[in-house]
Amino acid sequence: MSRASTSAAIFKTVIIQGILLSMAIAVVGGAAAFFAVGMSGLISAFIGAGLAVAFTTLTALAVWLGGKLPLGGFYGVVLGGWLLKVIVFITILAVLNHTDGLSRPTIFFTIVASVLGGLAIDAVAVLRSRVPVVEG
Amino acid sequence: MDATTAAGLVGNIAVIGYGLAAVGPGIGVGLVVSKTIESIARQPELAGRLQVTMWLGIAFTEALALIGLATPFIFAA
């Protein structure tokens, strides 16, 4: 992994690696769930991993894009985006929870795996980064 | 008589679970953001670095919220 030298480079690295990790979790989890519970498990794994990567990537995108704004705009984008995102996810999960033909444990465990893996990527990217004190 | 009947509760108790799952991340994100604002006010030249660190704090805190939102998939009756 190359060392990111600006905050924009950190977010780019994190978003790309997060998407790759979630794809890997979707494929591995989907294969395991396919053999355990069949086609519904495969679909559920892709839904779970997709939801988790969207949830975590949107935060990074909000901080990245909000960073180009003045301080008030930054917090508006980050916190407003966070609130909006949580409401949208409650709605999506409520709909999925009442959808037949999905493997509910598979969705849960792929979401948890993607979130924890994403956190590991975030932490490593930030710890390895060298953000200059003053950015141009 | 089960526990919920004894307590006189009606409705879905999972709603209380989501409320509890929202309290922790709510306090956590509030603390992270308030301290970042305070730090940027003290040292505006560090804003870029502080915003990246703040995002890491929010990412860890919101993981609890997302896992809390997903628990009905395994805990629902």
* Tens-digit pLDDT profile for residues B19-38: 888 888 889 989 998 999 89
Enumerate residue ranges in chain A where pLDDT < 50. Answer: 1-2
Instruction: State the Cα–Cα distance between residues A24 and A32, nearest whole angstrom.
Output: 12
Give this complex's ipTM. Answer: 0.71
What does the DSSP assignment read for A41-104?
HHHHHHHHHHHHHHHHHHHHHHHHHHTTS-HHHHHHHHHHHHHHHHHHHHHHHHHHHT-TT--H
Distance in angstroms (rounded) separating the CA atoms of residues A95 and A130: 42
Closest chain A residue to B60 measured between Cα atoms?
A: A119
Residues, chain A? 136
Q: How many CB pairs under 8 A join A and B?
A: 97
Q: Is B76 in the A-facing interface, judged by CB distances under 8 Å?
A: yes
Contacts of A63 in chain B (CB under 8 A): 51-52, 54-55, 58
Amino acid letter for position A126: V
Query: Is B74–A105 a contact, with Cβ atoms under 8 angstroms apart?
Result: yes
Mean pLDDT of chain B: 81
Those residues with Cβ within 8 angstroms of residue B25's Cβ, 6 or more apart along the chain or in another chain: B61, B62, B64, B65, B68
pLDDT at A85: 87
* CA separation, residue A106 to residues A21, A68, A111 (Å): 17, 38, 8
pTM of the shown model: 0.79
The per-residue pLDDT for A135 is 54
Helix A39-66 to helix A104-128 angle (10° resolution) is 30
